[in-house]
Structure 1
């Protein structure tokens, strides 16, 4: 963290610096194996650290080293254990202007430590337990998180775990108690569960209805493993999609999903996100209790592919991998549970690892593709359009149009005896139509314009200007020219006048709408100009325009009522000042976009969050002070003030590098950035920009991994 961000945080909410961090996911995983022979006991502790992370040694080394050393407590009934013996740690040298020079000891990858014990109670159970407490860190983002884990012995373990037993501990306990290292493969199904109500209840499917083959490939450079399972389902039979019941399809679907679990010591498998081909939807012929219609379920038949990826902690040993695949197989007469135990049958053919491409290119492939997956779903896209529309309505860009709209439709209502509904609808349609027209006609110009760093700086400065207006330092009046246009429109009357009013509103609010328009059109910029891309633009701009138009249509329907409302009092001034704080925060976002593109390094993530922490804390405190100043209870305003302060605390929590929710991190905050620095909180790795070959050549020469950063700025 930079000194500047520390200063900002101290000014805003200094108490947050001392607040305890919330629980984080462990970036290390421990396994314990123990053996007992006579009065001797042996323990092997395997600690696997997530690639890209490291854990501090049991001794930091230098007295000035900063970090939490690893502490262990090994215990079991009837055994007195000695200290663990660890392999030699790596040593990191730090030379920092602020913290000075020091070194610290750490471990990466897979580490095995050994301990010996004395059996004090004959017949002691082999149930040792170890409790570990320490700290794991990564130089990629400069983040450190606490590590704490308790694990129980898994028995004697495999012989290879004891290969590094140090001579200083004497002889290792006998390996006679080692559990079998593998499970013979079998294609026999599990005992039949309760069949589905789709056929005779005593139907039992033959064991040959599902068979499988497992292949695995490791890429030790990227520390990853891919496993592909090819299932063959007999003709006229089908299995169900997986791995969870939610993947079955209909909430009331009846069936057992297909799932996979792996047994492997040196690979952490992500079975929960296994991939299967697009399923076939089948009607189960049973009326649904809710929603009407019949229950349906996702099925597969014929050749079915399953792919699972994993993180590799050590040299890959395919003989160490065993997959348990289970599910339910059915035909028109009934269903039965099945299970397969598969061992790796080699690296497999290339076609097996390209099954997704083959399926997508097949005759049953859908119209979607990778480009569709790279863009947000249509629902999320339209939801974002509504959000931007609401946000724009809160901005001062639209304020001048409120009195103009009321004045215009008051005159129209007087001239038409209050019948302004057709004009109001036309007014809304005009606003929506102009936004759609902008999207379709000016897309090639707006995309680079709205995302250019200069545009972001201009918008950021404008937001700062608007915040000064809301704070009351500057008085903003509608431009004379705009008033003249509105006056001519009012004088013209009719549908032409309404259209000019709608166009005036769009032009007035363009400063605030440009960010959304650029984002919207950018989402279709990677397309091929297809009808689907055009449809997304039309729908997005239409929903955005509709959100903008709705309140103005309402104002146009009841202009007299609006004029008769009480004049704005202190509450409006309070709202304006609060929105001024929001505008300051928004301005930093756009200035940050330019900072990222031009690589200034001024508004990094920590500085940005610290600034937002201060801004929203000030906004919340202002609301509470206004309540106190009025001398009257205002639960709503007090609640908003407290929530705003809590939001400031949330941003402050992210300043030291703690992870925040993706909803906030992705659209609003600058990303984690890796700088060239000797600071322990920043990566000191060489950074090679826009030269893939040079980076690979250097990495191979130095025996290091390459982190590829595909950067998108705004």
Structure 2
């Protein structure tokens, strides 16, 4: 397959995934909706804060009908609520003051909203509602325009989340007055979003990492670059990049057979491919889809399956499956032209795969760069992502060179093929991790027992293969089992027995970041659950709602510990399985009200959790840990770390007067 066709295939796949993932985000507007209370009785009135954010240079029109002398005018923005058997609009809509500008097309002054507008909507419940579990929505019909053209009016259905806000004083009492009330607040300003009147949206609490980043910016470009390089080096120690080690070695081991003398070229293309795709994808997705755009994309089921598909393709290529006569088709063409050819198309594809796998866990520096890019800044985000990704790519440059060097050794035939097959088994095990992540994002996922059983079967087969119990098509017969082969066989047998221990509850250490939890997390969903003592196996009661955590914290006068985490976040699982259960850390956590907020699922309440993290802490990094006072004031923040003493010092800040 020629490079241009391979690149067209990649572009087509990403276009399809982008359209399915983002839908209406391409129409340059985003919405959130927060209720004034989480539980509403039948017949009770309450309010919802609808926040509309528009891309730069785009605007919509006000809720007032605007008709010019010719009998025409812009489309009126209309707000409704539903389902009608659950909620109905029961009073005025408190709208921000629009900007008034002359429109030459309509030959009149028109009312417009730019950048951001917030509407308070009075609603009446038709049934008892609990927004932690019941679904209701606000529907917005509006027309979007930029400086050159307009998009047709369209409907945007916004699910009401479970992060409450404090309504304007007297709003509910005035619910029977005029239908639309304008305020003197400019459309770019913010109403207060609070949690039991303790957290204000207008106040953003910078995390410790953000304070360090801003300090380095002020120290000059060299200081900032060194921070980015250091962050890249630390990222190499996180579980997120480990799956790319076997796939890198195995891929270039296979290429070394047909591209002799091209090892340095391929390694350089691979490294620069990582840098270019990591920087360009991160920057572009942040500009187009917001700070969490590339994270949402990288964690979508389609991308996980895309990466898993590439891993499986390489696996069977390493097994020699494509040497068998097969019907002409895409897989065969990819094998003959891309995987075994002398071009660099497949190397660029590998760099892209690496970037997507890396973005699934975003650290503080990259998270800050993505947020800055989404607000229009370009210089610091681009140079930080270039320096970060270059540091990340450096060891993989040498890993890409390694197979080429091995192929030059004398008699590199039989044992080299054995090594590629063993790597193929490792890549096969790695692909299961990405497949399971896709299933988790769809609300399913393999159980720990099934996942580990598959891994055990793979490593049993690897051990038997090394011992020569069976061979594949391209293998030569094994006459004797030498000491080196025996050592490898014993190593994989040991891994197998180690995994068997995980079936019976043993902690698997570093591997815990990749395998499913032993059971569905037992998370207390309410204060009643907390009082009854619902606990996880290792670290006690965890609430899943911030508002409930505030209630418990105030009642018990305890600090709050928030764990912003994700279903597929490997760094998060590593912390939760290997750091939290440690005796000293668990002892400190037990003295706090703990709340776990998932942010990587594209449905409520997880979307509201993500928005809460972004708007309150100006961060999209996972994991993010926050300690608050019982009334919701920030004490300190922390991210992923391997340093137990550092994490204990962070937790101790909750108890310092």
* TM class by smaller structure: 0.3 to 0.5
Give the structure with the larger helix fraction: 2
> TM-score, with normalisation over the residues of structure 1?
0.35
Higher strand share: 1
